[in-house]
Amino acid sequence: MLVPEAVLDRAHEDVHKTQPWNNPDAVPYIRFENVTKKFGDFYAVDDVSLDIYRHELFALLGGSGCGKTTLLRMLAGFEEPTSGKIYIDGVDMDGVPAYERPTNMMFQSYALFPHMSVEQNVAFGLVQDGVSRSEIRELVAEMLGLVQMSKFAKRKPHQLSGGQRQRVALARSLIKRPKVLLLDEPLGALDKKLREQTQFELVNIQEKVGTTFVMVTHDQEEAMTMASRIAVMNEGVINQIGTPFELYEYPNSRYTANFLGQVNLIEGVLVDDDEKYAVIKSDEAGCEIYIDHAVQGHEGMTFWAAIRPERLRLTKEAPEDTKYNCVSGKVEEIGYLGGISTYHVRLASGKRIKVTEPNSTRQIEPRYTWEDSVWVSWEAGAASVLNQ
Amino acid sequence: MSGKRSTFLISALAFGFAFLYVPILLVIIYSFNEGKLVTVWSGFSTKWYVSLFNNDGMIDAAWNSLRIGVMSATLALALGTPAGLVMSRFGRFKGRTLFSGMIAAPLVMPEVITGLSLLLLFVTLEQIVGWPAGRGISTITIAHSTFCAAYVAVVVQSRLSGMDISVEEAAMDLGAKPGKIFFVITLPMILPALLAGWLLSFTLSLDDLVIASFVAGPGSTTLPMKVFSSVRLGVSPEINALATLIILAVSILIVIASIMILRSERMRNRTANASDI
The pLDDT tens digits for A295-319 are 777 787 888 888 898 988 888 888 7
Per-residue pLDDT band at A171 (split at 50, 70, 90): very high
CB B150 within 8 A of CB B80: yes
The answer to whether B247 and B31 are in contact (CB under 8 A) is no
* Of the candidates A200, A169, A185, the residue with the CA atom closest to the CA atom of residue A72: A185
The pLDDT of residue B121: 93
Q: Within 13 Å, how many C-alpha atoms sit on residue A360's CB side? A: 3
> Could A105 and B173 be called an inter-chain contact, meaning their C-beta atoms sit closer than 8 Å?
yes
d(Cα A257, Cα B236) in Å, to the nearest integer? 87
- Least CB–CB distance from A158: residue in B172, B188, B272: B272
Is B190 part of the contact surface with chain A (CB cutoff 8 Å)?
Answer: no
Using a CB–CB cutoff of 8 Å, tell me whether A130 touches chain B.
no
Q: How far is A247 from B14, CA to CA, in rounded Å?
A: 73
CA A38 – CA A82 distance, rounded (Å): 6
- Please give the angle made by the CA atoms of A121, A122 and A123, to the nearest 5 degrees: 90
Do the Cβ atoms of A324 and A287 come closer than 8 Å?
Answer: yes
Residue A98 touches chain B, beta carbons under 8 Å: yes
For residues A118 and A47, what is the distance between their CA atoms, to the nearest angstrom? 40
Q: Do B175 and A129 touch (CB under 8 A)?
A: yes
Average pLDDT estimate for B110-117:
93
Q: How far is A35 from chain B (nearest CA, A)?
A: 21
For B208-249, write each residue's pLDDT tens digit: 999 999 999 888 899 999 988 888 887 778 888 888 998 898
Partner-chain contact A98 B274, CB within 8 Å: no
Minimal CA separation from B253 to chain A, in Å: 26
pLDDT tens digits along A221-259: 889 888 999 999 998 999 999 999 988 988 888 888 888
Range scoring the smallest mean pLDDT among A290-299, B161-170, B183-192: A290-299
Instruction: Report the amino acid identity of residue A322.
Output: T
Nearest CA in chain A to B187: A115
Contacts of A186 in chain B (CB under 8 A): none
Q: Which CATH number fits domain B55-241: 3.40.50.1260, 1.10.3720.10, 1.10.240.10, 3.40.190.10?
A: 1.10.3720.10
Average pLDDT score over residue span B182-205: 89
Contacts of B271 in chain A (CB under 8 A): 155-156, 158-159
Summarize pLDDT for A7-54 with one digit per residue, the tens: 555 445 566 667 888 888 888 999 999 999 999 889 999 999 999 998
Strand bridging mode A180-184 / A103-106 = parallel
Q: Please give the average per-residue pLDDT across A75-101, as a whole number.
A: 92
pLDDT of A6 reads 53
Q: Which residue has the higher pLDDT, A381 or A111?
A: A111
Considering only residues 68 to 97 of chain A, which have any Cβ-Cβ distance to chain B shorter than 8 Å? 76-78, 97
CA distances from A324 to A285, A348, A377, B157 (A): 11, 17, 9, 68
Nearest by CB to A159, which of B169, B171, B272? B272
Please report the ipTM that was assigned to this predicted complex: 0.80
Q: How far apart are CA A90 and CA A74, in angstroms?
A: 16
- CA dihedral of B141, B143, B145, B150, whole degrees rounded to 10: -170
Which residue of A103, A111, A176 is in closest CB contact with B164?
A111
Q: Cβ contacts (< 8 Å) between B275 and chain A: which residues? A: 155, 159-161, 164
Cβ–Cβ gap B189/A107 under 8 Å: no
Quick one: what percent of chain A has pLDDT higher than 70? 96
Q: How far is CA A341 from the centre of its chain?
A: 25
In whole angstroms, what is the distance from residue A263 CA to residue A286 CA?
18
Of A79, A37, A28, A64, which Cα lies nearest the Cα of A241?
A28
* Confidence at residue B67, expressed as pLDDT on a 0 to 100 scale: 93
CB of B195 within 8 Å of a chain A CB? The answer is no
CATH number of A262-386: 2.40.50.140
Of chain A, the end-to-end C-alpha distance in Å amounts to 13
The answer, yes or no, to whether residue A3 has pLDDT greater than 60, is no
Q: Which long-range contacts (CB under 8 A, 24 or more apart) does A15-20 make?
A: A19/A243, A20/A53, A20/A54, A20/A56
A112 touches chain B (CB under 8 A): yes
Angle value at C-alpha A197, between A170 and A159, nearest 5 degrees: 50
CA distance B270 to chain A (A): 9
As annotated, the residues of chain A forming the CATH 2.40.50.140 domain(s) are 262-386
Whether the per-residue pLDDT at B113 is higher than 70: the answer is: yes
| Cis bond upstream, residue B132 (ω within 30) | yes
Say if strands A212-217 and A180-184 run parallel, antiparallel, or are unpaired.
parallel
> Is residue B2 pLDDT above 60, yes or no?
no
Question: Which pLDDT belongs to residue A137?
Answer: 93
Are A354 and A343 within 8 A, CB to CB? yes
Bridge partners of A291, per DSSP, are A278
**What is the model's pLDDT at position B275?**
47
pLDDT of residue A261: 85
Residue A68 pLDDT greater than 70, yes or no: yes
What is the percent of chain A where pLDDT is above 90? 37
Contact A125 B268 (CB under 8 A): no
Closest CA to A51 of A241, A235, A215, A237: A241
**pLDDT of res. B276:** 46
Mean pLDDT of A82-108: 92
Please tell me the predicted confidence (pLDDT) of residue A76.
Answer: 93
Distances, alpha carbon A375 to alpha carbons A202, A309, A322, in Å: 44, 14, 10
Looking at residue A111, what is its pLDDT? 92
Q: Where exactly does CATH 3.40.50.300 map onto chain A?
A: 5-102+178-257
A385 — phi, psi (to 5°)?
Answer: -105, 125
Sheet strands side by side (includes A30-39): A42-52, A30-39, A83-88, A91-92
Comparing CA positions, the residue from B176, B182, B171 lying closest to residue A129 is B176
Give the chain B residue whose CA is nearest to the CA of A124: B174
Looking at CATH, the fold of the domain delimited by A5-102+178-257 is given as Rossmann fold (3.40.50)
